[in-house]
Amino acid sequence: MFPAITYPSSLLITDQRQVLVKRDPSELDAKRCEKLVAAFIQRRRPPPHIRNEVDLAFRMLDQSVEIFEVRRHWRDESKVLEHAIAKATYNKSKRNWRVFWQRADLKWHGYKPNPKVDSIEDFLALVQKDEYGCFFG
């Protein structure tokens, strides 16, 4: 059995949910967003017996929410790799969220089937549905 994954010190573990938070939107909105995304991650996480090998996490940076997979490096188990899954960035002036996915070039690209959503709930529903296999494959 693998030893437990050691997360970077900037990754907070709260109630079995991984969250990295640096706030910019209003504190109340950020807390609400954090709660919704944490609940989404909790529902999508793999079974407890394999979480030492692969897990889901998210981070909030400024006005963006990024969902990513955390797994061990295949050669050096002391290292942790992150694989981006989805990203949403809030546009204050337009009051919507821009949706992104990461392609093989490791750059974020607008999610063309639905590039903007009205709420974080809509973003999470879009990622959950993953109609075109862009987020979870």
C-alpha dihedral (42, 47, 48, 52), degrees to nearest 10: -100
Whether 72 is in a domain gets the answer yes
Between 40 and 52, whose confidence is greater? 40
- The whole-number pLDDT of residue 30 equals 87
* Strand residues in the chain grouped as ranges (E): 12-14, 17-23, 54-62, 64-72, 80-91, 96-102, 108-110, 116-117
Q: With respect to residue 6, please indicate whether it lies within any of the assigned structural domains.
A: no
Structural domain range at position 116 = 12-129
pLDDT above 90 for 87:
yes
* pLDDT on residue 27: 66
Q: Shortest CA distance to 33 belongs to which of 88, 72, 85, 80?
A: 88
Compute the distance between CA of residue 128 and CA of residue 24 in angstroms, rounded to an integer: 25
Into how many domains does the chain fold?
A: 1
Cβ burial of 91 (10 Å; 0-12, 13-18, 19+) is exposed
> Which of 40, 67, 41, 55 minimizes the C-alpha distance to 6?
55
Quick: pLDDT tens for 5-51. 555 544 444 444 444 444 444 666 889 999 999 999 999 999 999 99
* Residue 120 within a domain: yes
Give residue-wise pLDDT tens across range 92-108: 999 999 999 999 999 99
Computed over every residue of the chain, the mean pLDDT equals 84
Structural domain contains residue 7:
no
In a domain, 1, yes or no: no
Whether residue 22 is contained in a domain is answered as yes
Q: At 66, is the pLDDT very low, low, confident or very high (cuts 50, 70, 90)?
A: very high
